[in-house]
Structure formats: C-alpha cells, structure tokens
Amino acid sequence: MTTIHPKLLKQLKEYYKPGTKVKLLHMSDPFTYIPPGTTGVVSCVDDAGTIHTLWSNGSTLGAVFGEDSVEKIQEGELE
C-alpha cells in the first residue's frame, strides 16, 4: 500500500471537501467500470487519500490516490 505524505493529504482534504463536485478522468479498477466523464459529489477523503464520491451512476467507489484521476468541476458543469 502506498502511503501519502501528511502535507499532501491535508491539501487533498482541503481541496476535495465534502460536497465538492468532481468529474472522473480515469479509473484503473478492473472490476468496476465507471466511465470517464461521470460526475459526482465528494463525501470524504480518507487517511489514505482516497476520494470517496457518490457518482451520478449510483456507484460509491472511491478514487484511489496515485491510481485514479478526478478533477474538481464548476457548479454549471454538473449534469
């Protein structure tokens, strides 16, 4: 398991606060498919840096730090 530097973890938690709207850019999980471009709302960032999100397709799979990619989106971009 990869560890995350405490300063970086703090930055992630501040940037992706609960309620932040995000869009998935890439997810590497081979067992669950969430298409790139899927939007969602962050529920929390855990101590491993995983961004837990309620995705618009109903999934709640977290985006793993260093493996998956999400970006913060503006209010008008959320579908």
pLDDT tens track for 15-24: 999 999 999 9
The CA-atom distances, in angstroms, between 41 and each of 3, 5, 67 are 24, 24, 19
Phi/psi at 61 (nearest 5 deg)? -65, 135
**The whole model's pTM is what?**
0.87
| Cα–Cα distance, 51 to 2 (Å, whole number) | 15
Lowest mean pLDDT, pick from 8-17, 38-47, 56-65, 69-78:
69-78
The answer, yes or no, to whether residue 1 has pLDDT greater than 80, is no
What domains, with CATH codes, occur in the chain?
Answer: 17-73 (2.30.30.30)
pLDDT 10s digits, 43-70: 999 999 999 999 999 999 999 998 999 9
